[in-house]
Chains A and B, each alone.
Chain A
Amino acid sequence: MHKRTVVWNNSLMFPVVFAILLAVLVMSLIIGCARTENDEKKIIRFITWKPNQPAVWEEIYTLFEAEHPDIRVIREVGPHSSTAFHDLLAQKLKNHSPDVDVFFMDVIWPPEFGSAGWALPLDELFPPREQKNFLNGPILANSYKDNIYGVPLFIDSGMLYYRKDLLKRYGFNPPETWPKMVKQAREIVFEESKRKEMFGFSGQFKQYEGLVCNMMEYILSNGGRILNPQTEKCEIAEKPAVDAVRFVRNEIIGKIAPKGVLTYQEPESIAIFIQGKAVFHRNWPYAWEMSNNPERSKIEGMAGITKLPRFSGNKSYATLGGWQLGISSYSKNREAAWTFVRFLTSEKIQKHLALKAGLAPTRKALYKDTEIIQAYPQFSDMKTVFLTARPRPRTPLYPAVSNVLQRYFHKVISDPTSDIEKEACAASQEIDRIISLQDSAPDNSAVSMTETREELGIETKDAISERTSE
Chain B
Amino acid sequence: MVMKTKCSSITKERIFAASLLIPCFVFVCIFAFYPILYSFFLSLHRIILGLPSIGQPFIGLENYRELLHDRIALRSLITTFAFVSVSTFFEILFGLIIALVINRHFRGRGLVRAAILVPWAIPTVVSAQMWRFICNDNYGFLNYILFGADISKYRAWLADPFFAFAAIVTADVWKTSSFAALLILAGLQTIPDELYETAKIDGANAWQRFRRITLPLIKPAILIALLFRTIDAFRVFDLVFVMTQGGPADSTNVLQFYGYKKIFAEGFMGYGSTISVLVFITVFVLSLVYIRLIRTRLFTET
Contact = CB atoms under 8 A, between A and B. Distances in A.
Contacts of A399: 50, 265-267
A403 B261 contact: yes
Interface in A259-277: 259-263, 268, 271-272
A263 B50 contact: no
A90 B52 CA distance: 14
A441 B53 CA distance: 6
Contacts of A112: 50, 267
A208 interface: yes
Nearest to B243: A263
A91 B160 CA distance: 31
B51 A115 contact: yes
A240 interface: no
A263 B159 contact: yes
Contact of B49 (A8, A94, A206, A418): A94
A233 interface: no
By size class, the interface of chain A is 35 or more
Contacts of A403: 261, 265-266
Interface stretch (B112-120, B177-185, B247-255): B247-255
B264 interface: yes
Given A197-B151, A259-B159, A260-B138, A117 B52 contact: yes
B267 A116 contact: yes
B152 interface: yes
Interface string A205-227: 01110000000000000000000
Interface string B126-164: 000000000001100000000000011001101111000
Contact of A207 (B48, B248, B268, B302): B248
A414 B156 contact: no
Which of B137, B151, B152, B247 has the most chain A CB atoms inside 10 A of its CB? B247
A115 B151 CA distance: 50
A445 B51 contact: yes
Given A116-B52, A259-B159, A441-B51, A206 B247 contact: yes
Interface residues of B, number: 36
A334 to B, nearest CB: 21
A415 interface: yes
B72 interface: yes
A397 B48 contact: yes
Contact of B249 (A81, A91, A258, A414): A414
Contacts of A115: 50-53
Given A206-B247, A407-B250, A414-B249, A260 B159 contact: yes
A32 B264 CA distance: 32
B57 to A, nearest CB: 9
Contact of B161 (A5, A206, A414): A414
Which of B50, B152, B249 has the most chain A CB atoms inside 10 A of its CB? B50
Contacts of A81: 245
A91 B264 contact: yes
Contacts of B250: 407, 410-411
Nearest to A262: B159
Interface in B54-92: 54, 71-72
A258 B265 contact: no
A396 interface: yes
A438 B51 contact: yes
A469 interface: no
A233 B71 CA distance: 21
Nearest to B17: A6
B53 A445 contact: yes
A468 interface: no
Contacts of A28: none
A207 B246 contact: yes
Nearest to A272: B138
Which of A116, A263, A272 has the most chain B CB atoms inside 10 A of its CB? A263
Interface string B250-289: 1000000000110011111000000000000000000000
Contacts of A54: none
B16 interface: yes
Contacts of A411: 249-250
A437 B51 contact: yes
A470 interface: no
Contacts of B247: 206-207, 262-263, 410, 414
Interface of A: 1, 5-6, 8, 81, 83-84, 86-87, 90-91, 94, 111-112, 115-117, 197, 206-208, 258-263, 268, 271-272, 396-400, 403, 407, 410-411, 414-415, 418, 426, 437-438, 440-443, 445
11 contacts: A90-B267, A258-B137, A258-B156, A263-B156, A268-B138, A397-B48, A397-B51, A397-B266, A400-B50, A403-B265, A415-B249
Given A258-B137, A415-B161, 15 more contacts: A87-B264, A111-B50, A112-B267, A115-B53, A116-B50, A207-B248, A259-B155, A259-B156, A261-B159, A400-B50, A403-B265, A410-B250, A414-B247, A437-B48, A442-B54
